[in-house]
Amino acid sequence: MKKRKILVLNGPNLNMLGVREPEIYGRRTYRDLVGTIEAYAKERGAFVTVFQSNSEAVLVTKIQRALGIYDGIILNPAAYTHTSVALLDAIKAVAIPTVEVHLSDVSEREEFRQVSYVRLAAVKTIMGLGFDGYLRAMDFLLDDVLWDDGGDA
């Protein structure tokens, strides 16, 4: 079976995990998140690249450059969830299956957080599971979207 390649993108302020609003996001750090994702990908036999940026333009460019390289994307757009048509358009342009992930349950938060442009192009949204949301997103991509019964190694 072909080793699947997954790009994990994290938006603004996720680099501040452990410091930023620990009552919402917990005390585990961004480094902890990356380690959790990388270890799980190895366990699942997938290749993963994890990247974080506070810049919308950089995230759009990463999505565009994923075309032809990655089989799936896990995206936590953070604050750009509610504002970025550019991220939506980039996801639509590359047509790579994308799972939207949020550490907190945004449906339980402020009214402005109820809008998600990214969700319009995502194959699934997972929220409120903390770090485990990324692992469930990886499972969904590997088991439900990208699986095959053979192919190149």
Which residues have C-beta within 8 Å of that of residue 55, sequence separation ≥ 6?
A: 12
Q: Which two tokens stand for residue 88?
A: 């939506």
Nearest to 101 by CA among 50, 35, 57: 50
Single out the catalytic residue among 30, 70, 102, 134.
102
User: Could you report how far apart the first and last alpha carbons of the chain are, in Å?
Assistant: 5
Q: Is 25 a catalytic residue?
A: yes
Single out the catalytic residue among 25, 70, 80, 117.
25
Q: Which two tokens stand for residue 79?
A: 């604050």
Question: Under a CB-based contact definition with an 8 Å cutoff, are residues 78 and 52 in contact?
Answer: no
Question: Which residue numbers are catalytic?
Answer: 25, 102
